[in-house]
Each structure stands twice: as C-alpha cells, then as structure tokens.
C-alpha cells in the first residue's frame, strides 16, 4: 500500500471506533453500600485506638513516603547485677574474633593504626572496625572482627561450628592458653599470617569487691545458671578471674548462648560457689575440712601444695587430682 492509502485506512478505522464509542453506554459507578458496614469490616480505632505518638509518627512517615519502623529499646544490664552482694552477673556473648600482636597487625594492615568501633565491658578492651578473613583447610570465615589491645601472640577464637566450617580441630582453651591450638591463615588488605585457633572456654570476670562478698578467689571454679524455663542451662567448672579493674561478666560463645536462649545483657546466676578449705566454721568445731577435686583446683590456681600432713581430709580423688596437677608432696 502507498502512503496515501495507509492514511485513508487510518481515517476509516478512526471513524469506526468513534461510532462504536457513541453507541456504547457510558460506564456508571456502582452504588455505594447502604446501611452500616458489616462487623468484620468496621475500623477498630474506637476499640483499640493507637497512641497519639504512633499516629503522628505514621502521618510523618506517610508524608515522607517512608515506612515507619518502631524504635527498639536498648537492652540494659540489670542494676542488681552490679550489686556485689548478689550472685547475678551480666552475660557477654562473643562470636568469632581475632586478637593480634603488633607485628601481625602491621603484616595484615600495614602502618595504619586501628580504629576503635566500640569499647567492650571489660576496662581497656575494645572492638576495632577492621576485620580479617580466616582460612582453613576446608573453608573460610569472612569479616572476623579484630579486638584490642594488641597481645603478645595472635590467636583466633571460633565456635565449634566455625571449626567444622574451617576444617580444623580446635581445642577448648582459656584466655592465654595456646597448647594444642589449630592453625589458620589470616588474610588482611596488606598481607597474611598464620595464627593459632581455639574455642573459648566459658569463664567469669569478677571485681574484687563482689568476689570477696561471695567468697570467690581468683582461679576458683564456679557454675552459672543461664536462661529460663525449659531452655535453662547451667554451665559448670567455670574459672573465675578476679581483679580490681574487672567488671562482673560471664563470657559465653554464641553456641553456648543459643543453647540457653540468652544474649548479651541478660543475667546469669552463679552457683556451686567454692568453700574455703580453712573455713572458720570448721576450725571452731575442731574438724579438718573435707578437700574435694574442686578445692584442689582452687589451691593449684593459688600456687599452694598438698601433702599427707596438710590440715584437710583429702579424698582419694582429690589426692589423684593433686598428683595430676603436680602439687602433691609426700613431705610437707
């Protein structure tokens, strides 16, 4: 078809459409509902009116074209947890993290100084903004947070699940213990280093005032009850670190916290507090106090030794424990 014929055809189609629209009836709006709305369709403003502050926030959000997000109240440590007379201590939950020596920091990040993200509960301890990648034989962990200050020796603290993901057999160790540690590679923006990898043993930090009120010495073993209801968990054989500058806190890893259904800021209750072998009550009665394996651990932590002439009733298991720890002496 020529261009002129196409124009004629377009005019014919347009005239036909106009005729059809003239013949069709104009659409009508359906009639509105008559009478009150059904119960299921009535607004509930009068039944449960939202607070005025919520209405104002919603209107402001609507004007901005934003969806309102309710602010979350910050979790606070219970005031009772700071009372030295109570057995309650706040819980601190840590996922995987890395502690670096000054030398390894420079290898991973160069000459740049670390930048502090936030302070941790224990005085002098901080979390840095910088993260590293931890690589093992079977997998990797990204964005592992670096904590400070610098240590004499670098170490990576992971959970059991992290260890499986990395493909390593990491032992459970207390702070400062490295024996039998697995090895991973830490990768930073400037280089990489080898570092020890361990699982953190749960432990308790206590200030001297609270420890003395509870009869707990540095290095003593205690238990801690966490959570509530059917998910309540008691962690046993926890080492207590007592120092003047410490703040009360139970350190758990993320898997332990998940098992008990707790998180940072929740409260734990200390139980199974140690009894001093040389208690005043035992002296008053003229009896030798009974010494258990737990008491032997406390004596070893203080650097004391035991012998058959020690002023205690020593159980066979306690004697074996003392020999195992190297504090048993046949002669006083």
- On whether the CB atoms of residues 99 and 155 are closer than 8 A, the answer is yes
What is the C-alpha to C-alpha distance for residues 77 and 85, in angstroms, rounded to an integer?
Answer: 16
Say if residue 84's pLDDT is above 80: no
The predicted model gives 81-90 an average pLDDT of: 72
Two tokens at 158?
């992971």
**200-213 tens-digit pLDDT:** 999 999 999 999 88
In tens, the pLDDT along 285-300 reads 445 677 777 788 877 7
Q: Specify the pLDDT at position 143.
A: 96
pTM of the model: 0.60
**Strands (DSSP E) along the chain, which ranges?**
88-94, 97-101, 116-119, 126-135, 140-151, 155-158, 172-173, 182-187, 192-200, 203-206, 221-226, 233-242, 249-253, 267-271, 290-291, 313-314
Mean pLDDT score of the chain: 81
Residue 72 has pLDDT above 50, yes or no: no
What's the pLDDT score for residue 286?
Answer: 47
Range with the poorest average pLDDT among 23-37, 53-67, 101-115, 295-309: 53-67
Query: Residue 33's pLDDT is what?
Result: 62
Higher pLDDT, 45 or 165: 165
State yes or no: pLDDT of 59 exceeds 90: no
Q: Directed axis angle between helix 316-325 and helix 293-302, to 10°?
A: 30
pLDDT band of 109, cuts 50, 70, 90: very high
C-alpha 53/C-alpha 104 separation (Å) is 52
Residue 274 has pLDDT above 80, yes or no: no
């Amino acid at each position: 078809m020529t261009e002129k014929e196409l124009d004629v055809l377009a005019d014919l189609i347009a005239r036909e459409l106009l005729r059809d629209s003239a013949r069709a009836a104009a659409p009508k709006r359906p009639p509105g509902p008559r009478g009150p709305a059904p119960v299921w369709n009535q607004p509930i403003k009068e039944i449960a009116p939202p607070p005025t502050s919520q209405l104002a926030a919603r209107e402001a959000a609507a004007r901005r074209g934003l969806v309102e997000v309710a602010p979350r109240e910050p979790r606070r440590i219970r005031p009772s947890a700071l009372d030295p007379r109570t057995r309650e201590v706040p819980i601190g939950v840590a996922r995987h993290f890395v502690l670096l020596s000054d030398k390894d920091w420079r290898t991973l990040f160069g000459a740049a100084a670390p930048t502090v993200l936030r302070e941790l509960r224990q005085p002098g301890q901080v979390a840095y903004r910088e993260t590293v990648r931890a690589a093992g034989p079977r997998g990797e962990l990204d964005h592992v947070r670096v904590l400070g200050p610098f240590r004499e020796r670098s170490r990576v603290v992971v959970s059991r699940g992290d260890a499986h993901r990395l493909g390593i057999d990491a032992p459970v160790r207390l702070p400062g213990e490295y024996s039998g540690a697995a090895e991973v590679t830490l990768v930073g923006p400037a280089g990489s280093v080898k570092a020890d990898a361990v699982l953190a043993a749960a432990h308790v930090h206590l200030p001297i005032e609270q420890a003395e009120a509870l009869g707990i010495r540095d290095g003593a073993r205690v238990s801690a009850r966490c959570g509530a209801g059917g998910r309540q968990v008691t962690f046993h054989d926890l080492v207590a670190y007592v120092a003047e500058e410490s703040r009360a806190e139970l350190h758990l890893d993320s898997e332990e916290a998940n098992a008990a259904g707790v998180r940072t800021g929740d409260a734990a209750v200390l139980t199974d507090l140690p009894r001093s072998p040389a208690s005043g009550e035992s002296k008053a009665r003229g009896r030798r106090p009974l010494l258990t394996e737990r008491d032997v651990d406390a004596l070893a932590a203080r650097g004391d030794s035991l012998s058959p002439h020690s002023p205690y009733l020593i159980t066979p298991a306690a004697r074996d424990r003392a020999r195992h720890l190297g504090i048993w002496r046949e002669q006083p």
